[in-house]
Amino acid sequence: MPESTLIDRFAPSPTGLLHIGGARTALYNWLLARGSGGKMILRIEDTDRERSTKENVDFILEALEWLEIDYDEGPISQAAADPRHRAAIEELKASGHAYEFEGATRLKVPDEGETIVHDAIRGDVTFQHENIDDFTIARSDGSPLYNLAVAIDDLDAGVTHVIRGEDHLSNTPRQVMILKALGHEPPIYAHLPLLHGPDGKKLSKRHGAASVQELRDAGYIPAAVRNYLALLGWGYDDKQTIFTTEELQKLFTIERVSKSAAVFDEKKLQWMNGLYLREMPVEELTALIESFTGRTGLGPAVALCQEKISTLADFWPMAAFFFDGPIDDEKARTKFLDEEGKIRLAAARDALADLENFDSASIETALRGVCESLELKPNKVFQPIRVAISGTTISPGIFESLELLGKEDSLNRIEQALNKP
Ligand code: GLU
């Protein structure tokens, strides 16, 4: 089979936000299509008219767009193929493969024998027919049921690879039987391993962000999310964890997808996201943070915080004091700006006031000089300054922070701190 004939599809049911498991399914389909020169179809399984609201469909489109996962065909509406599904049901009845029972239509499943699902991840999975009853393919009002619609849609779209969550494995023999009854060969299937939280339980909201939208709002960036999701069940070798999207497209194969459940650990995603943020040119990071926070003029502060943040959301709490003044943290004040702290702070003020060049190197020399003359460890002097200018004990580098604030603002803040009771 020439590689370019690969056709796969992402076929979500619009039930709400796009969950992490669904995002991984979309990603794997996309990587396979992009890496093989094949094509990916987006099919919206919207036959449940009540849940398939425009809002729910938009959640899926929005999540894919944010993840920068594109598709070659679609979004195709499954519900729109209803006449075709009904025609297939008629065909199955006419050929004797299906029959009506109490108005509904059922597919005949032989009492003996087996249906083998060839799964590219699990190998052959055998389903004994004695365990599968004749199953309903159309309700008594004639409306087609899920397994029928999926089988027909995959057939009509020329889908060669069905990649979806393991929870669908039990549906697969039924879809295979429908296709065979119509005289067609089934596509290649690949059922992706379940996702667990770090506690080994099935992934859910209590493990942190559960949807793509929540990841976005928590300040993760798409490239890091793609990288992390790609590793939830797939690996290239035991070593490499950081992959560009081009590498993922080139290296991803179904054969390397694991059978066993993968663990979604938001801490690891945070770590990976931090790596991506640090690697970024500061202008690019600034643009992302400015659009995330809705503020402008953040560049110099972003440069100071870049090393310390893991998500876009980490920035503002760390840098707000530059713009909005020191926050009022009474605990930090009582601890570091007591009588002794204020004596050290006053010494620091005097040294800073003498500086002509208020750059971080000169500031550092001056403040280290204060430590030496007072015979104190650096933090004994630096923490009171930190609390004076930021209000808290956590800030970017103290010398750089002072430089960014400038001499006047720095000295004002220190003065105010000295004057507070
Ligand atoms: N609509 C199904 C879901 O959202 C997926 C069906 C399929 O991929 O075959 O779980």
- State residue 274's pLDDT score: 98
Local confidence band at 364 (pLDDT 50, 70, 90 cut-offs): very high
10 Å CB burial of residue 307 (0-12, 13-18, 19+) is: exposed
| Domain-located, residue 387 | yes
Same domain, 359 and 415: yes
Computed over every residue of the chain, the mean pLDDT equals: 96
**Quick check: 1 pLDDT over 80?**
no
Q: Is the dihedral of CA 342, 403, 321, 208 positive or negative?
A: negative
Are both 19 and 164 inside the same structural domain?
Answer: no
Q: Distance (Å, rounded) from C-alpha 329 to C-alpha 390?
A: 9
Q: Does the beta carbon of 159 sit less than 6 angstroms from any atom of ligand 1?
A: no
User: 3-class SS at 252?
Assistant: coil
- What is the per-residue DSSP string for 129-174? GGG---EEEE-TTSPBPHHHHHHHHHHHTT--EEEEEGGGGGGHHH
Give the chain's end-to-end CA distance (angstroms, integer). 80
Residue 168 beta carbon below 6 angstroms from any ligand 1 atom: yes
Give the distance (Å) from ligand 1 centre to CA of residue 249. Answer: 23
Residue 402 predicted with pLDDT over 60: yes
Please report whether residue 271 resides in a domain: no
Classify residue 93: in a domain, yes or no.
yes
Q: d(Cα 61, Cα 107) in Å, to the nearest integer?
A: 34
For range 152-179, the mean pLDDT: 97
Domain check: are 59 and 204 in the same one? yes
- In this structure, the answer to whether residues 168 and 84 fall within a common structural domain is yes
Instruction: Match 């999207």 to its residue by tokens.
Output: 245
Residue 5 identity (one-letter amino acid): T
Residue 322 lies in a domain: no
Whole-number pLDDT of residue 209: 74
pTM value surpassing 0.85: yes
Show the domain range for 126.
Answer: 79-192
Average pLDDT estimate for 8-16: 96
Nearest CA to ligand 1 atom 7: 11
- Please pick, among 201, 202, 205, 420, the residue that the annotation labels catalytic: 205
pLDDT at 205: 74
Are residues 211 and 83 both part of a single domain?
Answer: no
Catalytic, 377? Answer no
In this structure, the answer to whether residues 86 and 178 fall within a common structural domain is yes
Verify that 89 and 183 share a domain, yes or no.
Answer: yes
The span from the CA of 140 to the CA of 138, in Å, is: 7
- Domain boundary at 145, 169, 192, which? 192
Q: Is 71 part of a structural domain of the chain?
A: yes
Same domain, 342 and 387: yes
213-234 pLDDT, tens digit per residue, is 999 999 999 999 999 999 999 9
Q: Is residue 67 part of a domain?
A: yes
Give distance in angstroms: CA of 348 to centre of ligand 1.
64
Does position 110 have pLDDT exceeding 90, yes or no?
yes
Report which secondary-structure segment, H or E, holds 214: helix 212-217
pLDDT tens for each residue of 44-103: 999 988 899 999 999 999 999 999 999 999 999 999 999 999 999 999 999 999 999 999
Q: What is the pLDDT of residue 49?
A: 87
Question: Domain tally for the chain?
Answer: 4
Say which CATH number the domain at 368 has: 1.10.10.350
For residue 385, give both structure tokens: 């300054």
Atom of ligand 1 nearest to the CA of 154: 9
Model confidence at 18: pLDDT above 50: yes
Backbone φ/ψ region at 265: left (φ over 0), alpha (ψ -120 to 50), beta:
beta
- 143 and 173 fall within a common domain: yes
Determine the pLDDT at residue 208.
Answer: 75
206 with 59, same domain: the answer is yes
Does residue 239 surpass a pLDDT of 60?
Answer: yes
Tokens 């209803």 found at:
82
Q: Do 202 and 152 share a domain, yes or no?
A: no
- CATH at residue 139: 3.40.50.620
Instruction: Mention every residue, 6+ apart, whose C-beta is less than 8 A from residue 113.
Output: 128, 129
Q: Which two tokens stand for residue 132?
A: 């599968």
The whole-number pLDDT of residue 3 equals 47
* DSSP structure class, residue 205: G
Regarding whether 87 and 170 lie in a shared domain, the answer is yes
Nearest one of 386, 62, 408 to 214, comparing CA atoms: 62
Residue 1 placed within a domain: no
Whether 2 is covered by a domain: the verdict is: no
7, 13, 57, best to mutate for ligand 1 pocket (most atoms within 8 Å of CB): 13
Q: Is the pLDDT of residue 419 over 90?
A: yes
11 lines ligand 1 (CB under 6 A): yes
